[in-house]
Structures are given as C-alpha cells and as structure tokens.
Structure 1
C-alpha cells in the first residue's frame, strides 16, 4: 500500500512538472521562421503535385522523378534547420496548468484504483499502445487464420505479429498468405526482410541462397508497389545490406519523399552518405566543394542537376577551373582531383536520374 502511494505521488509530481513547464519558459524567436515557412509551403505544394499525378498517364509518370527529387531536397533543407522553439501558454496559463494537474491527478487516482488496462495504454505513445494491443490480439488472430484458412485472416495475423515484433509468427502467417496469393507486396517485402535479418535474431549464419531469395522477395514487392513507402524503405535496407550504397540511398530518399513524416531511414541515410564520402576520395572532394549546390548525388538543388547535364568533358573542365555565372572557380584542385570529378560527373550523365 505504501509503495503504491509513493508511486502515485511520483506520478503526480511528474505530471505537474510537465504541465507547468511551459510557465517557466519564455517565447523564443525563431531565426529560421521565414525560411521554414517557405520550405514547408514548397513541400506541401510538391506533395500536392505528386498526389495529383495519374500513374496511367506517361506524361505524369515522366514528371514524377523530378518532383520526388525536389521534394527530397526540400525535406533535407527542412531537416537542416534548428527545431522551432515552442511557444508558451498565452491565455490563462496558470489556470490551464492547474486544471491540467488536477485532471492528471484524477486520472492517475482512477487508474491506480481501478487498474483499467485501457487507462494503462493511455500512458504509452500511440505506437507502443498499438503494439501492446497487437500482442494481445495475436492468439485470436492466429486462431481465426487457422480456422478459416483465409488469405485476409493470415495477412491480419502477419501484420499484427510483424508490427509487435513477434517475428516467428509473422514468418508463419505471411508464408501461408503467399501460398494462397503470391502477389502481395506487404507479405513479400516483410517476409524478405525477415529472412534477410534472420542471422541477427537466431545467430544462424545466413546462406547465400537464402540471402538471394530474400532480396528477390523485396525487389518483387517494390516492383509491385513502387509508391508504397515501406517498399522503398525495405528495398533500401536490402541494398545497403549487400553493399550497394548508391541504390540504397536512392530507395531511402524515395521513401522519405513518399512518407515525409517517416524517420526510420534517417540513421541509415546518414551512415551511407558518410561511408561514401570517407571511402571514396572523389566523393570527399565532391562533398566538400559541390554537394551544397548540386545535391549529394548530383541530382541538383540550388545548382542544376549534373545527371541531366549534356556538357562535354572539356566544357565541364573549363567551368570547374574558371567558374561561370553563379558557379565559383576551383583553380586549386589537383590534377587527380579534377580528373576524378570529371569521371564522376560523366558517370552520372550516363546514369541520368
């Protein structure tokens, strides 16, 4: 009883501190407000244009890569801004804060007395609460799938198992679903990534044959659902797993474009860029001198896309050394650095977007 009261008191103190914290902070000016507003407006406009594209119209599909590239650059620019300061309470702050503490105390007492599971879920963030509910539902979903032998039931069981981290059940459920209907992107990509990462979970070495099969499943899912964010996310992880950094970055950048709020690829994108820039001396030179204008992969930004450039090697050499318009001159590059940059740009010209 005493322990319960102590726990209740700590919860009330924490709730009070959280609710009253805005009273202690003054509003801070946002130095990036104008730039942030402009970038957010540009982001929203690009998403609206992407959403309006008709996948059955060749002209619309031809525009998609450029719109996605510009959206990715806008997201990157937003990520580079410092977080916007939080505004303090403006209307009746003390009354609102005290009311919040009172409500927190009431809910805490009610939960402590009644032990309602739904209240306990309210203490978790939405993702954690969903995972808990998924775990609780697993026995029912499994029984339903085994009873009906229906594809939808197996998919529901697989989704709940995968989202809650119960991967052995997810493997079983998605495997049964694919036997019933082989062309299901969600089942294909999730089964593929589970196979590809099985070594970390089981400590059993992944065979070359299993790795090849896993990659095939993930690529097939991305071909069936190229505009599904998870398809591009898992495709990027798969490419990175096989050391194909350029393809991995392209897929993960597209994931960020398709799901602007998704942060699952941030660490991987940072690691891949760092790995490219440290392992390749030419990319180090490019990152130090060119990436801020032409983009980290030459797809453009403040400056034009190098991948779409039709300039000859001689013209590129002249512009790099002498500069042109807003492009500054780089006369101090060594011969090896200059030739390396020219080789890189010519390779991008052949690859295109």
Structure 2
C-alpha cells in the first residue's frame, strides 16, 4: 500500500472512530426508561469493535467479512425503536452527529459504502463494479495526459467492467501511441471479433481477418501471458482451426493452472478431434478437463498412474467418489470403450 493511500485510510479510520463516538454518546448516557438499552449497547459495542478492526486492518482478505458484520450490526441498530430523548445536550449532539455523518459520507463514499454494497456479490461481480466506478476518473486522466499507460489503465477498467465501447476507444488510442501493446492488441481484436454478439450485426470477413491479426500479433509479442493464449485459442476456434486452437488453450492452462475460462471450449474441441475413437470421445467430453488431455493429470489425478481394476474404475465412473462426479448415464458401449482407453493408459504408464 502506497504512502498516500495509507494516509487516506488512516484519516478515514479516524473520521469513522470520531463518528462512532458521536453515535454511541446517547448509549453511554442512556436513561433507565429505555427497554432496548442492553441490546442497543451490545450492537453499538459490536459495531465499535468492527470499525476499530477495519481501521487497523492489515489482512485485506478479512475486510469483506468484517464489513458484512459491521453492516449487520448497523442494520440491527436501525431496527430498534428510537432511544428516549437524552436529558441534556441532545441538540448539540444531534448537530455534531449530523456533521460527523456528512463528513463520513463524503470521505467514505468511495470506500466503506461501496464495499458494504459489494459484500453480497461474487468476487468477479464485485471486481466488475469496482472497475466501473473507476471509469470516469481513468477516462479523464487519459484524455488529460494523452499517455499510452493512462489509456491502457482506462481500457483495462472498461474491459473488466464489460464497458466495451469505452474499451475500444481507450485501447485504440493506446495503440496509436504505441502499436506494440500486447494487451491492447489482443483485447481490441477479441472485441472486434465478437462485435456481432454484442450488437447483433454480422462481422465482415475483412474485419474478422483484421481481428485475427490483432490477436495473433498480441500473442506473438507476449506468448507467456495466459490471456494471450486464451484469446488466441478462442479466435482460432472461430476460424475452424481446432488443432491449433486446442494447442493454444492447453498452453493457457499450463501458464495458468487455475484458469477455468476455456474448459467448455477445450472439451468441445477434444470431442471434435477424437471422433474416430469412441473411448477417447467419451473421455474428451467428460474427463479431460480434470485429468488432462491424455490422462496425465491436471485438476484431478493422473489416470496413467492409477492401479484400480477395471471393476473399480467402472464403479468410480458410474457412482463417483470424493470430488469426482458420477456419470451414471453412460451407455454400456460408451463405458466399455472408456474403460479400454483407461486400461491402455495404465499399461503405458507415464
């Protein structure tokens, strides 16, 4: 975390603590006529503790859970009936609370509030929303500076938030300033290639070739970046180059073993390329995405190193085991062909 960002976080924490102090002042001087005082005090203490933890947080992985719990505490406080009017200082406290709340809202509008709203989203959805929130500032910065790196930052945020018209503009301007930008090349290419899906208009053959050239060039400039191989594989599959597409997508999986964006396409390509052997066709459609294209292992274990008998293999396939899903609907001929392939790999070993 950079110095300015850390300073802003610390200042925001101080503001939050000050506002918490103002909010809990009535609780510290509660009247005996408040039947909800114990619950109000408990929720206030819980909220204070969570705010303090957030202000001093060093492990960002804990932030969503802490903010969710803080939001629940606030929601519980809001659900309670209003506290009885304080005997003294009520007007002064109300004015102080209003000023503190306004300051917290102004300073925290881009931090705490969006994070609470994002707590119910998936990680990808939250990332997309956060990228969209950054777009106006990134666009203004790029247009003001005219630098390639600022256009790339704007393009990345637009692409990640699915704001594709801005992504095209930003990446196009970045390439005008520096045509050797792998990210801009491949992403502009895939946006051009898939424009028909976004607009409902068919892409011309000339635009398709131009898009393919952009993606290929981006992959040549950055062959070790997983996204280069991922987008290259998708583009090649569009043009019917199944073998080359599969090679690119398998390269993507090698560069990013946790990447799951190409699983369905890889399975479809393997199935199309293995039509001559029924066992390989079943394996490609149901097993290869976890156990590797040739049974050598991946997300799942190596099938070539397996010592299971044919009967045991059949039972695991049809009934499942652990993380392995069951495939009870395989026809007897399909199951037999698959078992023949697996037994052949066991004999071959690695």
TM score, norm. by length of structure 1: 0.51
Write the distance in 1 (CA, Å) between the matches of 2:271 and 2:117: 42
Taking the TM superposition and a 5 Å limit, the aligned residue runs for 1:65-104 are none
Which position in structure 1 is the counterpart of 2:217? 220
Distance 1:289 1:120 in 2: 43
Shift of 1:119: 1.4
Deviations 1:18-59 (A, max 9, x none): xxxxxxxxxxxxxxxxxxxxxxxxxxxxxxxxxxxxxxxxxx
2:139 maps to 1:142: yes
Structure 2: state its 5+ residue gaps. Answer: 1-64, 79-100, 106-112, 305-343
Q: Does the alignment pair 1:120 with 2:84?
A: no
Which deviations, in whole Å up to 9, do the C-alpha atoms of 1:110-162 show, x marking residues without a partner?
A: 26859922211223233222211111111111111111111011000000000
Q: Which of 1 and 2 has higher RCO (CA within 8 Å, sep 6+)?
A: 1
Does the 8 A contact of 2:270 with 2:281 survive in 1?
Answer: no
- 1:205 Cα offset (Å): 1.3
Task: Give yes or no for contact 2:230–2:249 (8 Å, CA) kept in 1.
Answer: yes
Alignment of 1:12-51 (within 5 A): none
Q: Identify the match of residue 240 of structure 1 among 229, 237, 240.
A: 237
Structure 1: gaps (5+ residues): 1-100, 304-322, 328-353
Please state if 1:108 is matched with 2:102.
Answer: no
Question: Structure 1 CA distance, aligned partners of 2:116 and 2:279?
Answer: 56
Alpha carbons 1:185, 1:224 under 8 Å: kept: yes
Q: Is structure 2 residue 152 aligned with structure 1 residue 155?
A: yes
Partners of 2:183 and 2:169 lie apart in 1 by: 14
Change (3 A) 1:192 1:170: same
Give the deviation of 1:240 after TM superposition.
Answer: 0.9
The more displaced of 284-293 and 154-163 is 284-293
Corresponding residue of 2:129: 132
User: Which one has a bigger Cα radius of gyration?
Assistant: 2
Structure 1: distance between partners of 2:175 and 2:67? 49
- Contact 1:218/1:231 (<8 A) preserved: yes
Change (3 A) 1:155 1:289: closer
| 1:172 partnered with 2:169 | yes
Residues 266-313 of structure 1 show CA distances to partners (whole Å, capped at 9, x for unaligned) of 111112222333xx4x244654799999x747999877xxxxxxxxxx
Query: Contact conserved, 1:188 with 1:217, CA < 8 A, in 2?
Result: yes
Q: Normalising by the residue count of structure 2, what TM-score does the alignment of the two structures yield?
A: 0.52
Quote the Cα distance in structure 2 between the aligned partners of 1:290 and 1:125: 30
- Of 236, 256, 260, the residue aligned with 2:257 is 260
1:111–1:120 CA contact under 8 A, matched in 2: no
Q: 1:239·1:247 contact (CA, 8 Å) conserved in 2?
A: yes
| TM superposition shift of 1:187 | 0.3
Relative to structure 1, the CA distance from residue 243 to residue 103 in structure 2 (aligned partners, 3 Å threshold; closer, same or farther) is closer
CA distance in 2, matches of 1:129, 1:240: 30
> Structure 1's 129 and 102: CA in aligned 2 closer, same or farther, altered over 3 A?
closer
Aligned length: 208
1:198 touches 1:204 (CA, 8 Å); kept in 2? Answer: yes
8 Å CA contact 1:276, 1:283 repeated in 2 = no
Task: For 1:204 and 1:270, locate their aligned partners in 2 and report how far apart those are by CA, in whole Å.
Answer: 28
For 2:279 and 2:256, locate their aligned partners in 1 and report how far apart those are by CA, in whole Å: 31
Q: Distance in 2 between matches of 1:161 and 1:290?
A: 35
* d(CA) in 2 for partners of 1:194, 1:215: 11
Distance 2:66 2:169 in 1: 48
**Which residues of 2 match residues 326-341 of structure 1 at below 5 A?**
326=347
